Amino acid sequence: MIGRVVALVAGALMVWAASAAAGQTAVPRGGFSIWVPDKWTVTIKRTGIYAANPNDELYLVASRIGFPDANNLDDDAQAFLSYELDDYKISGSEDSNVGGMPSRALQGTGTSDKDSIEFTSEAIDPGPDHDVVGVLVYGDPDAMKTEQGQATVKRILSSLKVK
């Protein structure tokens, strides 16, 4: 009986992962998928994903986030940044949406592992029955400012699909 349940769950996860949009990386336990550029190193951890470009100049972190003290998307977004970065300073913020879901976008500078970085982050609210999804793209300030870097950030942030 347990073997059948495990087989059914494994089969469902494989179907869900296969059904993620082309080029999307599925995070089955997180209930979402997100586009990651070719040749980036990807690590799936529990309900999230970590990815780095080949030159270790740009990084992606995306995960379900549930901060009990958060009262709104701005609190979730800032709590996610506090968790992922050593420190940060927000230079811009706005309410927006990703895939029709309300989100809070934050941009700024900070440090990660003592390196100066720039970041763009979104806290996306998929609805009352789901935890918020945090997406953070950060890296070397010069790499983040290039046309290619900006296009990569935009595509990653707009690609989120929630199951």
For residue 163, the 8-state DSSP code is -
Domain range spanning residue 25? 2-162
Give, for all 163 residues of the chain, the pLDDT tens digit. 554 433 434 443 343 333 344 579 999 999 999 999 999 999 999 899 999 999 999 999 999 997 776 778 899 999 999 999 999 999 999 999 898 899 999 999 999 999 999 999 999 999 888 889 999 999 999 999 999 999 999 999 999 999 8
What pLDDT, on a 0 to 100 scale, did the predictor assign at position 2?
Answer: 52
pLDDT at 143: 96
Token pair listed for 46: 């529990």
Q: For the chain, what is the domain count?
A: 1
pLDDT value at residue 5? 37
66-98 in b/e burial notation, b at 16+ Cβ within 10 A?
ebeebeebeebbbbbbeebbeebebeeeeeeeb
pLDDT of residue 93: 95
Using the structure block, give the residue that is written with the tokens 């100049």: 57
| Confidence (pLDDT) at 4 | 46
Q: How much is the pLDDT for 19? A: 37
CATH number at residue 132: 3.40.1000.10
Provide the pLDDT for residue 20: 42
